[in-house]
Amino acid sequence: MHRFEFSEKLEEYITKIERETERKVRILESPKLGLKGMWAGFRFHPDFIIVIIRSGINKPDETLERSIAHEATHGYILFKYEYCMAEFNESVTDNDRKDIQLIFTMVDDVVVNKIMSRNGFMPFGSEYLNVVQKEIDAMISGQDFYRQFSDDLLFDDLLMISRYIIAWGFLEYFGLNKYEFEIIKKFTDVFKYAYPMQYKIADKIKHIIIANDIFTSEGHCKSMDEILKLLKFNNLVKIITIADFKK
């Protein structure tokens, strides 16, 4: 049992996820969630859908509730639709594991955001457009917005690519209003010229996603296989579904 009293909308959505996956959603707290500014994260467990929220939050608001719904939906697509996930080799380093998890997340988020929008939640958080505008301003002024997040240059490159893919996903698959569309479109346009090397990779990933239907388990798994090969991580990980995990 979580200690918060959530809105009826979130409680109903959690109940739906629990009913359709036959797994309880457990909400835990931790002071460390990964990237700076994160409100919640998903942690895989074969028997539960575990959502970790940032400790120290005294009262839930719309931003936290959307974050919880988002992370629970990551579990939903694994257990309900048998989307694929990574099974790491024993020799995989912590940095490689973090990089591979980010690669999965960038594709999964496109699907997760679409499912959330169909269930009455905003496809992106309240601060998303403000952050995108900061990224645009930094790119135009020649500042490197992304190096603040880690000392791992490869991870930062993947973070840049993931930001592009998620933004492109909103343009490609969502009905945005004029204001939302213009900001996100400007981000993708400026990114192309500010980060040509990262854009070249992101564009290849974009075409892999277009060529496969990532809104199905089969298409998602095929996309992930091709993307991991493109980024040369395929020898470090095996792509499995929850059905494989049980064997």
Quote the DSSP letter at residue 235. Answer: G
Domain membership of residue 136 as a residue range: 90-247
pTM of the full predicted structure? 0.91
State the pLDDT at residue 127: 86
CA distance 45 to 47: 6
Residues 30 and 115 in one domain: no
Domain-ending residue, one of 28, 59, 80: 80
How many C-alpha atoms does 147 have within 13 Å on its Cβ side? 6
User: Is 139 a member of any domain?
Assistant: yes
Q: Would you say residue 85 lies in a domain?
A: no
Question: 76 with 130, same domain?
Answer: no
- Assign 62 a pLDDT band (cuts: 50, 70, 90): confident
- For residue 46, the tally of other CB atoms under 10 A from its CB is 10
Domain count, the chain: 2
The pLDDT-based confidence of 130 (bands split at 50, 70, 90) is very high
pLDDT of residue 24: 95
Side by side, which strands form the sheet with 24-30? Answer: 24-30, 48-54, 40-44
* Domain-located, residue 53: yes
Return the DSSP state at 1.
Answer: -
The more confidently predicted of residues 153 and 8 is 8
Q: Where is average pLDDT lowest: 11-15, 89-93, 103-107, 182-186?
A: 89-93
Question: Does residue 41 register a pLDDT over 80?
Answer: yes
Query: With the CA atoms of 34, 43, 224 and 126 taken in that order, what torsion angle do they form, in degrees rounded to the nearest 10?
Result: -60
What confidence score (pLDDT) does residue 1 get?
A: 43
Flag the least confident range among 10-24, 52-66, 129-143, 149-163. Answer: 52-66
Strand partners, 50: 26, 43
Residue 200 has, within 13 A of its CA and on its CB side, a CA count of 4
State pLDDT tens for residues 226-237: 999 999 999 999
Q: What pLDDT is stored for residue 173 in this prediction?
A: 94
How far is Cα 132 from Cα 183, in angstroms, rounded to an integer? 7
The whole-number pLDDT of residue 54 equals 75
165 and 51 inside one domain: no
Q: Same domain, yes or no, for 19 and 141? A: no
Q: Which of 31, 59, 80 is the last residue of a domain?
A: 80
Confidence of residue 144 (pLDDT cuts 50, 70, 90): confident
Whether residue 149 is found in the same domain as residue 73: no
C-alpha torsion sign, points 238, 243, 246, 247: negative
| CA separation for the pair 111, 220 (Å, rounded) | 9
In angstroms, how far is CA 160 from the centroid of its own chain? 13
Residue that terminates a domain, selected from 80, 108, 131: 80
Residue type, 33: L
- Render 48-103 in DSSP notation, one character per residue: EEEEEEETT--S--HHHHHHHHHHHHHHHHHHTS---EEEE-TT--HHHHHHHHHH
Distance of alpha carbon 75 from alpha carbon 50, whole angstroms: 8
Longest dimension (CA), the chain: 53
User: By mean pLDDT, which of 122-136, 162-176, 177-191 is the weakest?
Assistant: 122-136
Contact criterion met (CB below 8 Å) for 75 and 130: no
